[in-house]
Homo-oligomer: A and B are copies of this chain.
């Protein structure tokens, strides 16, 4: 696994990357999906992107066996995009990109996503945001509680790039996984624990 803490190196390595990962885009969603697939494969975590909610209106059945949807609409998601399990904890997060160099605008976060993350914290899950500043080519993981607090402040319409740098954790990039974001989760939420390996065994009727 090769990391690129210096973000400029990331672009230089793209040719090499595309050889290894044919057809993979460079969007945050693609990076997270491939990282999650890798984490799944090595049994480090079980994290999936939820399907986009779609309201199906009309379905055509050209054959008995196959259904073709011919009228449908995108629905506003009522939760975050990603969730799963890591080190016996429920994980839930939203990932967003911005082209702005100076701040991340809150208008791209839905009110019910904030409500959802408040509930994640209430029920004992780990909640965070993954924010990418495409102009800086940098991605950060920031705790949901900090984001919620900022979001809930009246007249605050964004979180500044400096604030994200200060309160968030820089996500190292690599080839596999594309984003080493679980290392940031370890750092933020499991600092007092040494290794996750011992925990990765079948746990039945675990009551912790």
Contacts and interface: CB of A to CB of B under 8 A. Distances in A.
A70 B68 contact: no
Interface string A38-72: 00100101101011111010000000001111111
A200 interface: yes
A145 interface: yes
A54 B69 contact: yes
Contact of A121 (B51, B86, B202): B202
Interface in A181-208: 188-190, 192-193, 199-208
A51 to B, nearest CB: 4
Contacts of A208: 124, 208
Nearest to A40: B119
Interface of A: 40, 43, 45-46, 48, 50-54, 56, 66-75, 78-79, 83-92, 116, 119-125, 143, 145, 188-190, 192-193, 199-208
Q: Which 5 pairs from chain A and chain B are nearest by CB?
A: A88-B124, A90-B90, A51-B53, A69-B72, A85-B123
